[in-house]
Amino acid sequence: MNDSPSTKNTYEGKAKTVEVLSDEKVRIIFTDRISAGDGAKLDTIPGKGKMNLTLSNRLMEVLEEAGIPTHLLERESETTIIARNLRILPVEVVVRNIAAGSFSRRYGVKEGEELAQPFVEFFVKDDKLHDPLIDRDVVVQMGLVPRDKLELVQARALQVNRVFTDYFSRGGMVLVDFKLEFGEDKEGHIWLADEISADSMRVWDAQTMEKLDKDRFRKDLGDVLAGYKVIMDRLDGIGGYSPEKQRMEVVVTIEPKHSVTNPGGEVTKRTLLNSGMGGIKDVRLGKTVNITVEDSSDPKWLDKLNQICKEILTNPMVETYTLGFR
Ligand code: TMP
């Protein structure tokens, strides 16, 4: 969502309005506005706001059950929710299972071609630049998101994809791709934010491959809301859905500081030299600890992990560590 402040406490997005209620809470108003092509195509579809809110809340509730923390606090009315007040990260996160849209155009891959594995892309939120695709190293180097948070966000996005591909397939639908946004609270905890609806995903009927999402609007394929309603009805038809808890693998990489001697590295260096390998200046030996986390639903678990890394897994006098997530 590309928000621009319209009053001190209100941010007007393309399809939603956000009112800041306090340091902790915002009200998000789901409007009937719809836009495509970076605002080139605009319209209003009566009932769309209500429909998107209903689907978005349903999907966020499913994600919460799967152990993925979201910003949703409560449904306030048919078109408004109360959510956590977050600083939205300046990148959009797109997960793709099947080639379509800008991916097909960018790489010349035929729409509908299944990708070998789910694929995560980042787009920088910048209206003037038209939200371009951005390399993850550039995201980090430009200081937009630190590397560990970006990796956490990517791992979360893949968790979301696992839950949704299963959920939608049970409703006879194919999840082609979707866009997520994440936000950070004052303590630096990451929450899934914004909305997840037929505006922000591509969903096809598994039998006919009929498009049920916002591509109906982008490409003038007929009644937009009718497609959105099919998605909702199909998910309703599944009945109660209990997703599997999503595990998270954390890789702690521990490296010796350059300022301290590293006896293990010295021994390895001698071994390499004795084996006839020349051109070696220095060898340093570190270690990795792979931790599979069963339940990472409380965003504070990352604080605990950092504390354990500092106090138990490493000796901060002689070692540094980085975290990776998958
Ligand atoms: P794309 O193929 O146009 O890059 O879009 C990928 C997915 O992300 C698609 O499901 C639509 C969604 N999306 C948004 O929700 N908002 C956006 O601004 C863009 C560009 C895509």
Q: What is the 3-state secondary structure (H, E, C) of 213-244?
A: CCHHHHCCCCCHHHHHHHHHHHHHHHCCCCCC
Query: Which pLDDT belongs to residue 5?
Result: 55
The Å distance, Cα 123 to ligand 1 centre, comes to: 9
Euclidean distance between CA atoms 275 and 25, whole angstroms: 63
Residue 112 falls within a domain, yes or no? yes
If asked whether residues 63 and 150 sit together in one domain, one would say yes
CATH of residue 264 = 3.30.1280.10
Q: Whose CA is nearest to atom 7 of ligand 1?
A: 178
Which residue type is seen at 324? G
Domain of residue 260 covers 248-325
Q: What is the mean pLDDT of residues 253-264?
A: 94
* Distance (Å) from CA 204 to ligand 1 centroid: 15
The reply to whether 229 and 291 lie within a common domain is no
Q: Do both 107 and 29 map to the same domain?
A: yes
Quick check: CB of 101 below 6 Å from ligand 1? yes
Amino acid type, 106: R
Whether residues 73 and 217 fall in one domain: yes
172 ligand 1 Cβ < 6 A:
no
DSSP 315: -
With residues binned 3-state (H G I as helix, E B as strand, rest as coil), the percentages for the chain, rounded to 5, are 30, 30, 35
pLDDT tens-place string over residues 111-131: 999 999 999 999 999 999 999
Which has the closest alpha carbon to 140: 120, 157, 122, 126?
122
Separation of 308 CA from ligand 1 center, angstroms?
A: 38
One domain for residues 297 and 165 = no
Q: Which residue has the tokens 């504390």?
A: 307
* 177 Cα nearest atom in ligand 1: 10
Do residues 173 and 36 both lie within one domain? yes
Tokens 């078109």 sit on residue: 79
Judge if 284 and 176 occupy the same domain: no
Answer yes or no: is 4 within a domain. no
* Alpha carbon distance 21, 14 (integer Å): 20
Identify the three-state secondary structure at position 266. helix
160: which 2 tokens?
């979301």
> Is the pLDDT score of 215 beyond 70?
yes
**Do 273 and 204 fall into the same domain?**
no
Q: How far is the CA of 200 from the centre of ligand 1 (A)?
A: 6
On average, the pLDDT of the chain sits at: 96
Ligand 1 probe mutation, 200, 202, 224, 228, most atoms within 8 A of CB: 200
Whether 233 and 149 share a structural domain: yes
- CATH number of the domain that residue 227 is part of: 3.30.470.20
| φ, ψ dihedrals at 117, nearest 5° | -155, 160
Same domain, yes or no: 165 and 279: no
Which pLDDT score, from 0 to 100, does residue 78 have? 98
Asked if residue 243 is part of any domain, the answer here is no
pLDDT in tens, 4-42: 555 669 999 999 999 999 999 999 999 999 999 988 999
In this structure, the residue with its CA closest to atom 10 of ligand 1 is 201
Structural domains in the chain (count): 2
Angle ∠(6,11,15) on CA atoms, nearest 5:
110
Among residues 194, 220, 238, which one ends one of the domains?
238
Same domain, 36 and 163: yes
Q: Whose CA is nearest to atom 16 of ligand 1?
A: 200
* Among 170, 203, 238, residue at a domain's last position: 238
The confidence score (pLDDT) of residue 6 equals 57
Nearest to 303 by CA among 189, 192, 193, 154: 189
Looking at residue 38, its pLDDT comes to 87
Q: Is 156 helix (H, G, I), strand (E, B) or coil?
A: helix
